[in-house]
Structure 1
């Protein structure tokens, strides 16, 4: 879920903290990506039609592999250096949120059964997407694929968004890319939405800067975290009747959740029993993340051509010619990115007070398609 309503709240109250950029403008940038969010999107969109999904000869779903392969190549061709971060063990406070999601999937499964009985195509499409869950196998498949592509993988000890933010705060990457806004609550200096959207959507990348958010909202990072908890996060229930705008007014008036609770009209607003807002705050401020350099193996390398062909073609039924051509694209993209960085060393010194316009490179505008001819095996799973 992330932080409920935060995008609109910032658009209305801190517009200077947001800016639209072209996808191509991130040439040469290292970007930490929340892998699970991307995989979830692929499972919903790529090659899906109702309850049918792309599979290999063994009947195993390959939508996530097709999506990850195509999208990562698009990033590399744009000169972007992705680092994919995978979730570890969820914190105990998130168990309630995960239980809600499980319940919703169970309800969707029942609704899907009814839709199938009545052959209601619209409902079949809607409810089948709500039953999607990213599994350990999906994650393991994508980790293997990315490593074969020469793209670094980070396995977070807990929340991927927290690890992404830690990488950005440590200067390991330029920004974090996700659709969940809680990357900002974890303190990521720069945050990108829509970077992973298909090129066919033609949606600009939205970049948020946490320092400007705090400046425009005129609050500290601690107050911003409290604002996010009050607005609604994954770690605890919110106070019924308090949304983002009311939360903003209360934080500005009282400064912290503790002071708000002391002055809140208890008859109008019902505070949840044993409300663990302090634990939620601690999770945002002191998340479990990897900081040891030796554990963070963030290196981009040449693709393992033989390994990719074995995995994608032999094991998952991808088209051999397409995979071979894709490997060439990866190699060309990585060479281009390296040359671009080396050339910058020989440019004249620029006054640091003047904004430097980065070199832009054209992106392959070929649409990421979900046609079965491009997918692993091309078969559908019902």
Structure 2
């Protein structure tokens, strides 16, 4: 949930969309609970859909987008979070009960339900077999994601929980769309600061006023737009302190009291022309503004006329000031009447900059090689897929690891223990992004163990399902004469095999030059239907009896008749010949 109200709609004008390479070689913290909750909205009937979604998204992030994911799980929730979960459960069930005490809420529930915890544990086992790092937060997972992002250990957080901004995150990827030219919808805290003038403390103040994950209610009668306008009137260093003063009943509005007299500084205006000065004074001495237009005496003011003199301008400012003061006073009264507002424990949770249970000063984050065989056995058992089908889906991830190791001059065995880099077939464009189509040939020293065979009917059914995530669209693997072909990042292939890229570019240039020479050597014959410079008409492409030439002759009655040049002319009746003639 995060901040109450339509928070994402408020910041949507400041969101960004980026293409494939936005996360290339970057670290990203993934709120694993966010992925697990998303599978509940997908229209799928596969067993263990949370594992299927995590399986495909991990491969997408690592191979297609080139990112280094760090998975983060929730720790023990605070009593306030447990209390909010109870209230949310009552609301979803249609039961409206008073909010229970914090102490009783903590005794009733501390962790999530057992089914959800089982899903989390299974996903953790899966990503660990992938070789991905998994960190457990001391409290909220988005808090640890924000901490890693704020400290520069990751470049972005993947979560839809807006609380991450309150915890200090600087970049949140809210939405991931694999089958798109711009698959990343993300938000930068710097853009929100520039567009709305809100900083971290302002967002915390808004969450306290409209509701959050620890207190769903907020302040009665204050919505998101009211909270936004109210907190912007304070500096970020004082906004939380002022809320504490107002909630505790010790603070006043930051301006004059409503009953303070406001001095009237407006001067009299003529009722005829509307300019400064009375009508009597204008009858004695002409109005300077009217006479300046070349007229004697005052002119009748038009409908809707408003004077723009300094006196009227000052009166407008005073009126607007008084209206703004009255509005602030009403908001302050609502805050003052809210019991136990604000909760300092919620403020401390958001301002806490340490969300891990690690004893070391810095959490150790490293990526390991996947345990391929155990991973295949685990997925085959959980999702009922054929091992050959799983190997095919894993191949792009393993090829990416192989190319990265080769680029770093690390010792690398054969890919999958049996394949080696062969050549670059051609370039390929997918969703506006260019890849190399790389061919991997099987080494003669390996045993016969096919990567891909025809999958079982169950695997075909599961992979063929279309859901809102399109997670099955990982980098495709093609088979050609015993070689496997994958789509690989061009920069990565260049770093790993520069000589292969040079060879491919030379071959490409040779083919293009040969085509150009052939085009120049071919004589251009405009009369020839096979000439490349002449566009053939449809009758030359599709030859039929209607497309053949005819010579006009006349029958015995004097009517023209179409006759084929070729032998065996067709005889038509007179009525048919007339229709043909008219057509």
TM-score, with normalisation over the residues of structure 2?
A: 0.49
TM-fit CA distance, 1:44:
3.3
Question: Which position in structure 2 is the counterpart of 1:289?
Answer: 355
Aligned match of 1:116: none
Are 2:165 and 2:200, in contact at CA under 8 Å, matched by a contact in 1? no
Structure with greater contact order relative to length (CA < 8 Å, sep ≥ 6): 1
CA deviations 1:132-174 (Å, max 9, x no partner) are 9961110110000000011111111110000001111121110
Q: Deviations over 1:37-71 (max 9, x none)?
A: 101112431623xxxxx33xxxxxx1111111011
3-state SS in 1 of match to 2:232: helix
Task: Pick from 208, 221, 237 the counterpart of residue 241 of structure 1.
Answer: 221
Q: Does 1:188 align with 2:255?
A: no
Partner residue in 1 for 2:193 = 214
1:69 to 52, 55, 61: 55
The change in CA–CA distance for 1:272 and 1:334 in structure 2 (over 3 A counts) is farther
Q: Deviations over 1:204-223 (max 9, x none)?
A: 42222223423443354323
In the TM superposition, residue 341 of structure 1 has moved relative to its aligned partner by: 8.0
Separation (CA, whole Å) in 1 of partners of 2:366 and 2:339: 47
Q: 2:375 aligns with which of 283, 305, 308?
A: 308
User: Offset of 1:11 from its aligned partner?
Assistant: 3.6
2:334 corresponds to 1:269:
yes
More displaced, 265-274 or 145-154? 265-274
Question: Would the aligned equivalents of 1:185 and 1:225 in 2 still touch at CA under 8 Å?
Answer: yes
Decide which structure has greater helix share.
Answer: 1
Partner Cα distance (2:436, 2:462) in 1: 21
* Aligned partners of 1:19 and 1:207 also within 8 Å: yes
- Between Structure 1 and Structure 2, how many residues are aligned? 314
Q: Unaligned stretches of 5+ in structure 2?
A: 96-112, 254-328, 410-432, 438-457, 466-583
Q: Deviations over 1:325-375 (max 9, x none)?
A: 123222112234556789xxxxxxxxxxxxxxxxx77599xxxxxx96364
In the alignment, the residues of structure 2 paired with residue 341 and residue 212 of structure 1 have an alpha-carbon distance, to the nearest angstrom, of 36
Partner of 2:455 in structure 1?
none
2:343 and 2:406 map into 1 onto residues whose CA distance is: 49
Larger radius of gyration: 2
Choose which of 103, 108, 130 in structure 1 pairs with 2:90: 103
Greater shift in the superposed pair: 233-242 or 33-42? 233-242
Following the alignment from structure 1 to structure 2, what is the Cα–Cα distance between the partners of residues 242 and 311?
A: 51
Q: Does 1:323 align with 2:390?
A: yes
Indicate the residue corresponding to 1:253 in structure 2. 233
* Aligned-partner Cα distance in 2 for 1:224–1:341: 43
Output the CA distance in 2 between the equivalents of 1:183 and 1:83: 16
Name the structure 1 match of 2:498.
Answer: none
- Superposed CA offset, 1:176-195 (max 9, x none): 11111111111112111113
Name the SS of the counterpart of 2:152 in structure 1: coil
Structure-2 separation of matches of 1:312 and 1:210: 38
Distance in 2 (CA, whole Å) between partners of 1:361 and 1:28 is 17
Q: Which residues of structure 1 form unaligned runs of 5+?
A: 49-53, 56-61, 109-131, 343-359, 365-370
Secondary structure of the equivalent of 1:265?
helix
In 2, the alpha carbon distance for the partners of 1:146 and 1:244 equals 38
Q: CA deviation at 1:33?
A: 0.8
CA root-mean-square deviation: 3.2
Q: Judging changes above 3 Å, is the alpha-carbon distance between structure 1 residues 217 and 70 closer, same or farther for their aligned structure 2 residues?
A: same
- Residues 1:372 and 1:46: Cα distance change in structure 2 (over 3 Å): farther
CA distance in 1, matches of 2:126, 2:394: 12
Aligned equivalents of 1:275, 1:363: Cα separation in 2? 59
User: Displacement, 1:260?
Assistant: 5.2
TM-score, normalization by structure 1: 0.72
- Report the Cα distance in structure 2 between the residues aligned to 1:200 and 1:327, rounded to whole angstroms: 19
| Alpha-carbon distance, 1:254 to partner | 4.3
CA distance in 2, matches of 1:281, 1:34: 22
In structure 1, C-alpha distance between the alignment counterparts of 2:354 and 2:11, rounded to whole Å: 27
Out of 204, 207, 219, the position equivalent to 1:228 is 207
Measure, in 2, the Cα distance between the counterparts of 1:11 and 1:320: 43
